[in-house]
Amino acid sequence: MSLEPVLVVGASRGIGAELVRRYLADGHHVHATVRDVSSSGELATVDGDLVLHQLDVRDSARAAELAAELSGAGLALVIHNAGINRGYSAAELMKVNAAAPIRLVELLLDAGAVRPGGVVAIMTSQLGARRGGTKGLGDYGESKAALNDHFRQRADDWGRAGVIAVVVHPGWVRTDMGGDSAPLSVEESVTGMHHLFAGLTAADHGRFWTWDGREHPW
Ligand SMILES: NC(=O)c1ccc[n+]([C@@H]2O[C@H](COP(=O)([O-])OP(=O)(O)OC[C@H]3O[C@@H](n4cnc5c(N)ncnc54)[C@H](OP(=O)(O)O)[C@@H]3O)[C@@H](O)[C@H]2O)c1
């Protein structure tokens, strides 16, 4: 019998794929989304109690369908990992990095997909931290700053809905996005976040965390 269900959104490669491997290794029932289920990237070779779902996070109709499919699933943990950086317009970055995670979390909560006390973690970046300043953060940083702003606007409601919701900086990680010179491996980043998620309590709700369990300034 598997442990409680977990959902990883954007899991074909990089940090998302390692999160799936880690929760499967723990014995969880894992739901993972990829853009193309017939070519699921790193998940094609993964064994375990895994259900793949198709989702391009820009597709709001499909996001609503997925939330309905997961209604009553009793998710103990939702990780919205999907994100983009270089090579996209500012508008596209806003759509994928800022708008999509908030919309999907709202849909999942409205559908009753997350169990009371469940954890919702959205992948942000330290590059989206304004730190009280007004300096431009670049298109990617601005998209993650907008995510953080939307998250803070919604956090009270999400807390009342009974979940523990956080945004997380995964560290600078060696992935397609992070590049070869990043200091952290996906395993190190995911080990830190795995520990962080397991220890979150209601007092940690609505906050910005780093992969290794430190609170990050907004
Ligand atoms: N790596 C770092 O150093 C770093 C630092 C700070 C924050 N982050 C954040 O951490 C998260 C994961 O980063 P990563 O380094 O693992 O990136 P990655 O290797 O580039 O992987 C990105 C993942 O997001 C998925 N994705 C992109 N656009 C999508 C869309 N429209 N719909 C659904 N899925 C989509 C990709 O799927 P496809 O394979 O289909 O493209 C892929 O699975 C991102 O949110 C990123 O901003 C990363």
Residues 6 or more apart in contact with residue 35 via CB below 8 angstroms: 12, 54, 55, 56
Residue nearest to atom 39 of ligand 1 (CA): 12
CA 87 centroid distance within chain: 21
Give me the average pLDDT of each 10-residue run along the chain (218 residues). Answer: 94 98 98 95 93 98 98 98 97 98 98 98 98 93 98 98 98 98 98 98 98 98
The torsion defined by the Cα of 218, 193, 175 and 42, in degrees rounded to 10, comes to -140
d(CA 151, CA 131): 16
- pTM of the complete model beyond 0.85: yes
CA 214 to chain centre: 18
> What tokens does 64 get?
């609503």
**So what's the pLDDT on residue 2?**
84
- Is residue 200 within 8 Å of residue 119, measured between CB atoms? yes
Q: Is the minimum distance from the CB of 107 to ligand 1 under 6 angstroms?
A: no
Does the beta carbon of 83 sit less than 6 angstroms from any atom of ligand 1? yes
Q: What is the pLDDT of residue 134?
A: 87
Cβ–Cβ < 8 Å for 144, 97: yes
Cα 134 → chain centroid = 26
- Other C-beta atoms lying within 10 Å of the C-beta of residue 10: 27
**Does the beta carbon of 42 sit less than 6 angstroms from any atom of ligand 1?**
no
pLDDT of residue 192: 98
Domains and CATH numbers, the chain: 3-210 (3.40.50.720)
Q: How far is the CA of 179 from the centre of ligand 1 (A)?
A: 12
- Residue 175, ligand 1, Cβ within 6 A: yes
How many CB atoms neighbour CB 123 within 10 A? Answer: 24
For ligand 1, mutation pick of 139, 175, 208 (most atoms within 8 Å of CB): 175
Spatial separation of the C-alpha atoms in residues 54 and 73, rounded to whole Å = 17
